[in-house]
Amino acid sequence: MSNDERCATIRALLAFADLRKSEEREFISTMNLLLRASPRKRREMIDQFREKTSSVPGAYRVNSR
């Protein structure tokens, strides 16, 4: 794992640690749906996440693969 990957993982874990309990439950529920989704459904979900955050100032941006 590269340093960039480690840093991204740590940033994600720190962001998770800052969530309120209700946000934590929402995150875990959504993550479970994403992990169990078919590749096609997963792409659709990711596109929806990107749409929802596209106009949010300071929202985390992920590069498309």
pLDDT tens for 34-48 read 999 999 999 999 999
CB 19 within 8 A of CB 31: no
Kindly state whether residue 35 falls inside one of the protein's structural domains.
Answer: yes
pTM: 0.72
Residue 21 has a pLDDT of 97
Kindly state whether residue 41 falls inside one of the protein's structural domains.
Answer: yes
Kindly state whether residue 48 falls inside one of the protein's structural domains.
Answer: yes
* Nearest-angstrom CA–CA distance, 31 and 36: 9
Kindly state whether residue 60 falls inside one of the protein's structural domains.
Answer: no
- Total domains present in the chain: 1
Q: What is the residue-averaged pLDDT of the chain? A: 89
Kindly state whether residue 59 falls inside one of the protein's structural domains.
Answer: no
Kindly state whether residue 46 falls inside one of the protein's structural domains.
Answer: yes
pLDDT tens digit string along 11-25?
999 999 999 999 999
Kindly state whether residue 12 falls inside one of the protein's structural domains.
Answer: no
31: amino acid identity, one letter: M
* Nearest-angstrom CA–CA distance, 10 and 57: 22
Give 21-54 as a 3 state SS string. Answer: HHHHHHHHHHHHHHHHCCHHHHHHHHHHHHHHHC
Domain containing residue 34: 20-54
